[in-house]
Structure 1
Amino acid sequence: MRKHIIGVMGPGDGATESDRAEARELGKAIASRGWVLLTGGRNIGVMEAVNQGAKEAGGLTIGILPDNDASHLSDCIDLPIFTDLGNARNNINVLSSDVVVACGMGLGTASEVALALKNGKSVVLLNVDIITQDFFQKFAINIAVAQTAAEAIEIVEALIEPQ
């Protein structure tokens, strides 16, 4: 049986301490369930924190890189995929994920959430302000909001492992 791939998207440079802390917990929880983690693969912000959490828990990590430069690759990535597509790699991120969790928000993350929703993927928003939540909820029903990483994982479990 194919393993579930959970995409975690979030800001790089603009990630807050709270974004990084929630992302690290997400990574641990994803790995502990035997799911595969997919991120943007860089060594900064949410990407780095979630990959660190996954590796701490013995998980498998995939990084979809925007360029062909390994100098920005997270040390916690098992399978790097160098695209040289810039922001167009966001489509690969969301289409390759069974569920997308957006931890924090920035322009790149917003584009990934929009692409996921447009393609019928379920999205969980974590650590996102109410204005952003309201905006995305106007466009789709396949979107949920979580207050903590643990709550986000419960939502993901319900989405990919229905009773």
Structure 2
Amino acid sequence: MAKKRQILVIGHNTNGCTPEHEKVAYDVGVEIAKSDSVLITGGLGGVMTAAAHGAKDAGGLTVGIIPQADASEANEYCDIVIPTGMGLTRDFLNALTADGVIIVGGGSGTLSETCAAYMNKKPMVAIRNQNGPIEKYIDGFIDHRKNVKIIGVDDAKEAVKTILELITA
């Protein structure tokens, strides 16, 4: 049996997450489940909860890698919880666990995870017009190293289709 693809969804936590972010993240979760991939998130609120909720509603498997040491801190849609006790350092674990990353808005934590994925040359897709710090890097690179281009897409279906193409390329 082949290993399942693992797609990390990152973005706004509860603070700063809008209904639009939640809708997009939910739809991304649904599409990930429909692709028979595993959804990985940081396991907390906002985009993470919405994506996991979408994946669960579509019959998918969800994993939450949380910064706390107590598994009960994860959102209710996580099938598997990995309580790291690592605080924000867990951003690197999230990035390394992923075969590819989908970005929905976000703040400094999302930027940290994006940089960790970038340094490890993980394929990345960002949904346009979500008002996160990644916007200025869409369809470009974070720095002079040009490790991996952050591909811009317009919706959830295109995000999952594109990340799967990048993973298997």
Q: Give the TM-score normalised by the residue count of structure 2.
A: 0.88
> Which secondary structure state, in structure 1, belongs to the residue aligned with residue 36 of structure 2?
coil
Task: In structure 1, list runs of 5 or more residues that go unmatched.
Answer: none
* Distance in 2 between residues matched to 1:145 and 1:74, nearest whole Å: 28
* Distance in 1 between residues matched to 2:137 and 2:38, nearest whole Å: 29
> Which secondary structure state, in structure 2, belongs to the residue aligned with residue 150 of structure 1?
helix
Q: Which amino acid is 1:151 matched to?
A: E
* Distance in 1 between residues matched to 2:133 and 2:71, nearest whole Å: 36
125-134 or 96-105, larger mean C-alpha shift: 125-134
2:105, 2:132 within 8 Å by CA — same for their partners in 1? no
> Which secondary structure state, in structure 1, belongs to the residue aligned with residue 4 of structure 2?
coil
Matches within 5 A, 1:114-125: 114-125=115-126
* Distance in 2 between residues matched to 1:71 and 1:37, nearest whole Å: 19
Matches within 5 A, 1:39-78: 39-42=41-44, 44-78=45-79
2:102 corresponding residue in structure 1: 101
Cα deviation, 1:33-77, whole Å, max 9, x if unaligned, reads 1100000011x2001000000000000011001012334311111
Q: Could you say if the C-alpha distance between residues 20 and 95 of structure 1 is closer, same or farther in structure 2, counting changes exceeding 3 Å?
A: same
Matches within 5 A, 1:8-23: 8-12=9-13, 13-23=15-25
2:33 corresponding residue in structure 1: 31
Kindly report structure 1 stretches of 4+ aligned residues shifted beyond 4 Å. Answer: none
125-134 or 48-57, larger mean C-alpha shift: 125-134
Task: In structure 2, list runs of 5 or more residues that go unmatched.
Answer: none
* Distance in 2 between residues matched to 1:28 and 1:112, nearest whole Å: 22
Matches within 5 A, 1:118-157: 118-127=119-128, 128-129=130-131, 132-135=134-137, 137-138=140-141, 139=143, 140=146, 141-157=148-164
Task: Give the aligned length.
Answer: 161
1:120, 1:142 within 8 Å by CA — same for their partners in 2? no
Q: Which amino acid is 1:36 matched to?
A: V
1:129 Cα offset (Å): 4.0
Q: Could you say if the C-alpha distance between residues 126 and 143 of structure 1 is closer, same or farther in structure 2, counting changes exceeding 3 Å?
A: same
1:11 Cα offset (Å): 1.1
1:105 Cα offset (Å): 1.8
> Which secondary structure state, in structure 2, belongs to the residue aligned with residue 34 of structure 1?
coil
2:166 corresponding residue in structure 1: 159
CA RMSD of aligned residues (A): 1.7
**In percent, how many aligned pairs have the same letter?**
36
Q: Give the TM-score normalised by the residue count of structure 1.
A: 0.91
* Distance in 2 between residues matched to 1:47 and 1:130, nearest whole Å: 15
> Which secondary structure state, in structure 2, belongs to the residue aligned with residue 121 of structure 1?
coil
